[in-house]
Structure 1
Amino acid sequence: LQELIELVGSSRIIIALDARAGKVVVKGWKEGTGKDVVKVAKDFEKMKVGGILFTNVNKEGRMSGIDTETIQKLVEEVNMPIIAAGGVGSIQDIKSARDAGAEALVIGTALYEEAVTLKEALEVAE
């Protein structure tokens, strides 16, 4: 990672942190690390990366609501942009991510399944 930072600059790097029950998972979400997602984000903050893409893998693709609690913890404890992913199923979820302080939100299944439209999402996000 340090070589990449030197090559392109730290602000151009977004670190993807996938988590289940607040703990980072790796290898296609199959292997738990036991590491707290907020602590790991703080470690990357020290490297001055451009932000964190946080995905709650328990919610990914299920349209079951977003993990506002973890998003809010990340926003409060880590001084860099937090992009949230996983679980968006309604306009209320988009509002909740915005209100929790997410800098941006990944919306996938909710758009494909037409639970929300891009127009609605953009209107709420502003």
Structure 2
Amino acid sequence: MILYPAIDLKDGQAVRLFKGDMDKATVFNDDPAAQAMEFVEAGCDWLHLVDLNGAFAGAPVNAAPVEAILERTKVPAQLGGGIRDMATIETWLKKGLARVILGTVAVEDPALVKQAAAAFPGQVAVGIDARNGFVATKGWATETEVTALDLARRFEDAGVAAIIYTDINRDGAMQGPNTEATADLARAVSIPVIASGGVSSLADLQALKDCGAALNGAISGRALYDGAIDLREALALLKA
């Protein structure tokens, strides 16, 4: 399993939200690129980046800090938030992103996701953000009637590199991930699944590792900033 340290970007800063609420943001670093370097120096193999403003705006907003991170770090990075057309996908990949994450557009225009996955093999992931089992879009502000499982199955044969599954009610709450729902999703599709939301201890990571489904990895944010998870210890645990 891969551990993906998360850097959520709001107004150019590295922040963490509580259950996706933009009004409940805690600033952890004014220099996201410096934060990224801390994670890299601790040994991470990937970085997980989110343009929070972009998720609401529907277009990239925090491009400058993302570009600074890409310039300073050498590990692959994936980015979600406001990526909703082929031109934006191509632009980000040309700038050095290893993978783009498509969320809102996966619900609204699944054909675009399939087109992108075919055009850029291994570089397109789907972000499935669910509240009480149903997908939420546009920065988690819009509820849909689509279940996480139904959405994942739409891309079963599309060549999608990964699914990032986030339980919104767990995100930033330090209450542990929704291991059961994540494992159920991973068992239901052949696409690699990455767990997100609520990963707040080494025990949480161990539970995901032992969940009975072959997860690709887990994303953690607030716990790394708060010190609840030591990144080096976590990396060693998942590689053991």
Establish whether TM, by shorter chain, passes 0.5: yes
Matched residues, number: 125
Q: What is the percent sequence identity of the aligned residues?
A: 34
Tell me by how many angstroms 1:46 deviates. 2.5
Tell me by how many angstroms 1:121 deviates. 0.7
Q: Does 1:4 align with 2:116?
A: yes
Q: Distance in 2 between matches of 1:78 and 1:117?
A: 31
Q: Distance in 1 between matches of 2:158 and 2:227?
A: 39
AA matched with 1:3: Q
Corresponding residue number in structure 2 for 1:116: 229
The 3 A distance-change label for structure 1 pair 118 and 96 is same
AA matched with 1:7: A
AA matched with 1:5: A
Corresponding residue number in structure 1 for 2:130: 19
Q: Distance in 2 between matches of 1:98 and 1:6?
A: 30
SS at 1:58 equivalent: helix
- 1:54-97 CA deviation, whole Å, 9 max, x = no partner? 11111111111100111111111010110111001111111111
AA matched with 1:113: D
Q: Distance in 2 between matches of 1:72 and 1:38?
A: 11
Q: Distance in 1 between matches of 2:197 and 2:117?
A: 27
SS at 1:84 equivalent: strand
Corresponding residue number in structure 1 for 2:156: 45
1:1-126, aligned counterparts within 5 Å?
Answer: 1=112, 2-9=114-121, 11-100=122-211, 101=213, 102-126=215-239
Structure 1 or 2: larger strand share? 2
Root mean square deviation, CA, Å: 1.2
Q: Distance in 2 between matches of 1:86 and 1:8?
A: 27
Contact 2:129 2:168 in 1 (8 A): yes
Q: Distance in 2 between matches of 1:6 and 1:67?
A: 31
Contact 2:117 2:159 in 1 (8 A): no
AA matched with 2:186: V
Structure 1 residue runs of 4 or more that deviate by more than 4 Å after TM superposition: none
